[in-house]
């Protein structure tokens, strides 16, 4: 029995991975057990934004692990304060509550919004509402999937938590119409990742900010995927020059080696948490804090935000040019681009498989969209190598589509 078959025998089939058994990674490259090296254009859904095995991350990981790793927050640990101070500084927020996964940070944001609604805004107990967007992907806990608009995420997991109001993504008028005196928060992704790198109209976030200010509502942005340089800014909301009341971060914060996330907000929101109101055994542990701080330092010192903006614009231009006649849309920001294929020309899954065969690893979503999100550390030469491979694959599918049409 080979390794892939063994995994299928003992691991629940909650994912459908490509039939490639990876052995090790270095920088932007991944190598399988047969020794075949491929370019990572997925970055673990942005979790590996610093590349695989960044030497500074591994150094901090090793040094901190020899000193102190996981200790509950029943005690203080030396790295936590500097880590959260740095995170607050780069985000423009005042305080942070550290967690582990993105979904945990989203759950933290929901609790914060509801408690703020009751204790500050004066919403009647049990009546608080949070406006969310169709097409959202905030995680897979039972609370979160309950307000997903994808039936595949919900099927068989009800009953669901009430208190969420869905509106179309990118439609500020729909948000305005959904606001009531019971609205505590609007919680959205500034760019929807799992939905297919869906970018809202420019001005959408600014309009939401104005609506929140006018109606005494919190604006909470989930930047677990879009944050920390992925879109060519530290955070995607900076493209519109706004500041949210709450910010959810994760993935890249762990440097590609450890789960680290956080919910950030003002002191007025964070003071509503007191001992016992929320917590996590591993959230904010010493190892996580040391890694998170170094990840932030690397992004800043290696100018990965600027690199994402420059390389991302180039990647988007090349992908748009090479997919003419195949794609209905090429969209994104920074090193985060979705190629939405015309289903009559090719299926995203088929193209993704062909790309893997050509040496480029990426992943489809919603049947038609191929996501491109290489590590922010990628060089222009490495990016060109990958895009050249993509161009050859797309050309082959364009040829097939042309032959079929003839």
CATH of the domain at 182: 3.40.640.10
Q: Where are the alpha helices (DSSP H) in 323-347?
A: none
Q: In degrees to the nearest 10, what's the CA dihedral of 204, 207, 208, 211?
A: -160
Based on the domain organization, do 314 and 235 belong to the same domain?
Answer: no
Residue 404 has pLDDT above 70, yes or no: no
Catalytic pick from 40, 86, 121, 137?
137
List the one residue out of 200, 212, 195 whose CA is nearest residue 239: 200
137 is catalytic: yes
402 pLDDT above the threshold of 60: no
Query: Which pLDDT value is given to residue 193?
Result: 96
Same domain assignment for residues 233 and 99: yes
Tell me which of 251, 282, 316, 329 is the catalytic residue: 251
pLDDT digits (tens, 9 = 90+) for 66-108: 999 887 788 999 999 999 999 999 999 999 999 999 999 999 9
* Single residue among 252, 281, 301 that ends a domain in this structure: 301
Same domain? 218 vs 208: yes
**How high is the pLDDT of residue 373?**
98
Task: Compute the average pLDDT of residues 285-308.
Answer: 98
Q: How confident is the model at residue 403 (pLDDT cuts 50, 70, 90)?
A: low
Residues 277 and 111: their CA atoms lie apart, in Å, by 9
Q: Which of 377, 245, 357 is nearest to 302 (CA)?
A: 377
Final residue belonging to a domain, choices 258, 276, 301: 301
Which among 73, 103, 43 has a CA at the least distance from the CA of 336? Answer: 43
Q: What is the mean pLDDT of residues 242-261?
A: 98
Tens digits of per-residue pLDDT, 116-151?
A: 999 999 999 999 999 999 999 999 999 999 999 999
> Mean pLDDT, to the nearest integer, of 237-245?
98
Position 399 confidence tier, pLDDT thresholds 50, 70, 90: confident
Domain residue limits at 382: 3-53+303-405
Active-site residue (options: 83, 86, 222, 329): 222
What's the pLDDT at 398?
Answer: 85
For 58, list phi and psi in degrees, rounded to 5.
-65, -35
Tell me whether residue 222 is one of the annotated catalytic residues.
Answer: yes
- Count of structural domains within the chain: 2
In this prediction, residue 72 carries a pLDDT of 79
């Amino acid at each position: 029995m080979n390794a892939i078959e063994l995994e299928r025998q003992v691991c629940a089939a909650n994912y459908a991975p490509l039939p490639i058994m990876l052995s090790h990674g270095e920088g932007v490259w991944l190598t399988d057990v047969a020794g075949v090296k491929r370019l990572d254009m997925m970055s673990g859904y942005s979790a590996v934004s610093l590349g695989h095995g960044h030497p500074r991350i591994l150094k901090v990981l090793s040094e901190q692990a020899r000193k102190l790793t996981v200790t509950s927050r029943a005690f203080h640990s030396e790295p936590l304060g500097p880590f959260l101070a740095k995170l607050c500084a780069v985000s423009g927020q005042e305080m942070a509550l550290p967690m582990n996964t993105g979904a945990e940070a989203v759950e933290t944001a929901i609790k914060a919004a509801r408690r703020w609604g009751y204790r500050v805004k004066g919403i009647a107990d049990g009546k608080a509402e949070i406006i969310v967007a169709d097409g959202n992907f905030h995680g897979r806990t039972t609370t979160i999937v309950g307000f997903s608009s994808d039936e595949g995420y919900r099927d068989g997991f009800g009953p669901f938590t009430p208190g969420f109001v869905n509106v179309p993504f990118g439609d500020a008028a729909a948000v305005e119409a959904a606001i009531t005196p019971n609205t505590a928060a609007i919680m959205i992704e500034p760019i929807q990742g799992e939905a297919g790198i869906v970018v809202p109209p420019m001005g959408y976030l600014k309009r939401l900010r104005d609506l929140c200010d006018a109606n005494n509502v919190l604006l909470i942005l989930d930047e677990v995927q879009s944050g920390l340089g992925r879109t060519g800014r530290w955070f995607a909301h900076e493209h519109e020059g706004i500041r949210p009341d709450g910010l959810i971060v994760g993935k890249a914060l762990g440097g590609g080696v450890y789960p680290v996330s956080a919910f950030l907000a003002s002191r007025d929101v964070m003071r509503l948490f007191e001992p016992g109101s929320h917590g996590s055994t591993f959230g904010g542990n010493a190892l996580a804090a040391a890694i998170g701080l170094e990840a932030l330092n690397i992004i800043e010192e290696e100018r990965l935000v600027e690199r994402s903006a420059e390389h991302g614009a180039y990647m988007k231009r090349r992908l748009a040019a090479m997919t003419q006649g195949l794609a209905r849309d090429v969209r994104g920001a920074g090193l985060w681009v979705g190629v939405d294929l015309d289903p009559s020309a090719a299926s995203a899954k088929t193209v993704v498989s062909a790309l893997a065969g050509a040496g480029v690893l990426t992943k489809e979503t919603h049947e038609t969209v191929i996501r491109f999100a290489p590590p922010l550390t990628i060089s222009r030469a490495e990016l060109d190598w990958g895009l050249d491979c993509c161009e050859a694959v797309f050309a082959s599918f364009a040829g097939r589509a042309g032959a079929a049409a003839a």
